[in-house]
Structure 1
Amino acid sequence: MADQHPSLSTPHDGTRPPWYARAATSAGRPAVLAATLIMSMPGEYHVARFAGWSDPWAYGMPFSLSAYAGIAAVVAATRPKGARGRASATIGAVFAIVLALAAQVVAHLVNTGHMDHNQAWLIAVTSMVPPAVLAHLLHLAATPTPAVAPSTSVDTGPDAPVVERVTPVVDPAPVIPPRPETAPQLPAAAPAPVYRDPRCAAIRPLYNGGTRPGTEAMRAALVDAGYGLVSGSTVRGTLRPEIEEHEPHLALLPPAIGRTA
């Protein structure tokens, strides 16, 4: 529970303290607070009377000192380290506690006859308490309180395990270029010519060198293709004209060097 004392939180062995211990802790703190306030009020009231305040104004001194000490202590405890106003609240809490203690000591010394209350320094110090308390409380109220992100931890005890949240690294999705609406059309390859004389197919590769082959080169190609010796007149007058009939640009190629026409 949020109002339980840290020393009575659930132990590490999983057992809980008995109910009467939890009840004493929950109910005991406000009871002790009320008792200490009631016991402190007479001394602080008498110190105010020693300084010259009359009733009912003297009753304001206990509330000034006690409330001031509580407010300054809470501000000092709740503001994070290094935040604005934390150091001032800590100093104010210590100052308020010192004043409250001094008021009790002075009141009891005076009431028991160990001290004379009619002293200038005592009256001066006591008279400065209310305006000093008011000024410091206004200063704390004007100092902004830093925003603190809510904790998502389940166990916030001093021995609670620290769990680090690791953000997974996600590889970016690969960028896929958009598909074209229509695939690019490649130029169609020219169909291979169909020769009337099949021996033309053995001669046609000789043109790939960028020159017009001669008679001997064409006859040698026919021999290599298994057609045997073919007369030069047949090569020049029949086969080569048929090839260049299908592809007229071949007839414009320069003649091969050292060829026989």
Structure 2
Amino acid sequence: MKPRTSPPPTGPWYARLATSAGRPAVLAATLIMSMPGEYHVAKFAGWSDPWAYGMPFSLSAYAGIAAVVAATRPKGARGRFSATVGAAFAIVLALAAQVVAHLVNTGHMDHNQAWLIAVTSMVPPAVLAHLLHLAATPIPQQDAAVAQPAPVVVPPLERAEQPPVPPMPERAPQLPPPPAPHPEPEHQEQAAEQRPTRPAIHYSDPRCTVIRALYDDGYRPTTTEMRAALEAAGHTAPSPSGLRGVLRAEVERHEPHLAELPTRPSPLHRAG
């Protein structure tokens, strides 16, 4: 199974540089800025050095792992909903830690409160329990093979003994049929004019030309068919949402009648 790859970013060089180098720089800056607040909250709850430094790392790692699991598992898979809730919970914890630390440091809040100490003390075991739950949840196969109907084996029939067939009389040799007359040039031109021609369409993405050729069979292409056609043509296939919402949507925007074509039936549907 090939990993999903996103299309390369387009645009001027400074936009591509900001996209490729800006994201890790912003990630590192936000992690560094969040660490003091989470450290101070751990100190308020009663942890001493160096144990208080574990709070920023546990919250940051927890948020990253939960977000990756929520993004990589398909819809309906076990653990995806739990990972999504965990990622949202980690963001709420990180936000609350920053707000509480700044309120305490500026004198707007007293850190010596029982509820604050109790909630902060529950963070590490709760994070550990949820990470163990995600690790124990099996990852399903995303590209399961389509079930093929089992072939029906018919036992051979026993042939009954038949009397010998008398030889047929010799027939006169058959002459080959006369060659078909070649159409005249005028008829060829009329046939070429009657043949429907597809107007030339200029797509913003050259991969749309490969997707458009799949409609010639009279069916609307699926995500699997579009990915296979792009890979066979040497192109990089985007994510399923990019295949359906970008490439196929652009083809059907130029020719709206293509969206009304039926989807090709699977082998299981044809067998039933």
Tell me, yes or no, whether TM beats 0.5: yes
Total equivalences in the alignment: 160
The answer as to 2:42 corresponding to 1:55 is no
Q: How does 1:211-250 map to 2 (within 5 A)?
A: none
RMSD: 2.8
Partner in structure 2 of residue 83 of structure 1: 77
Structure 2 letter corresponding to 1:19: W
Ranges in structure 2 where 5+ consecutive residues have no aligned partner? 144-223, 231-235, 252-262, 268-272
Quick one: which of 112, 116, 125 aligns to 2:119? 125
Partner in structure 1 of residue 146 of structure 2: none
Deviations 1:95-132 (A, max 9, x none): 11100000000000000000000000000000000000
* Distance in 2 of aligned mates of 1:159 and 1:91: 29
Quick one: which of 242, 246, 253 aligns to 1:159? 246
Q: Which has the higher contact order (CA 8 A, sep 6+)?
A: 2
* Distance in 1 of aligned mates of 2:132 and 2:266: 44
Deviations 1:77-106 (A, max 9, x none): 111111000111111111111000000000
**1:118–1:44 distance in 2 versus 1, CA, 3 Å:** same
Report the more deviating stretch, 143-152 or 22-31.
143-152
Q: TM-score, normalised by structure 2?
A: 0.54
The 3-state SS of whatever aligns with 1:161 is helix
Flag as ranges the 4+ runs of structure 1 deviating above 6 A.
2-6, 162-168
Partner in structure 2 of residue 242 of structure 1: none
* Distance in 2 of aligned mates of 1:22 and 1:4: 17
Q: Percent identity?
A: 80
Shift of the alpha carbon at 1:74? 1.1
* Distance in 2 of aligned mates of 1:102 and 1:145: 32
**1:114–1:136 distance in 2 versus 1, CA, 3 Å:** same
Deviations 1:197-228 (A, max 9, x none): xxxxxxxxxxxxxxxxxxxxxxxxxxxxxxxx
Partner in structure 1 of residue 59 of structure 2: 65
Q: TM-score, normalised by structure 1?
A: 0.56
2:6–2:237: 8 Å Cα contact kept in structure 1?
no
The 3-state SS of whatever aligns with 2:247 is coil
2:74–2:80: 8 Å Cα contact kept in structure 1?
yes
2:79–2:137: 8 Å Cα contact kept in structure 1?
yes
The answer as to 2:103 corresponding to 1:109 is yes
Ranges in structure 1 where 5+ consecutive residues have no aligned partner? 10-15, 169-261
The 3-state SS of whatever aligns with 2:67 is helix
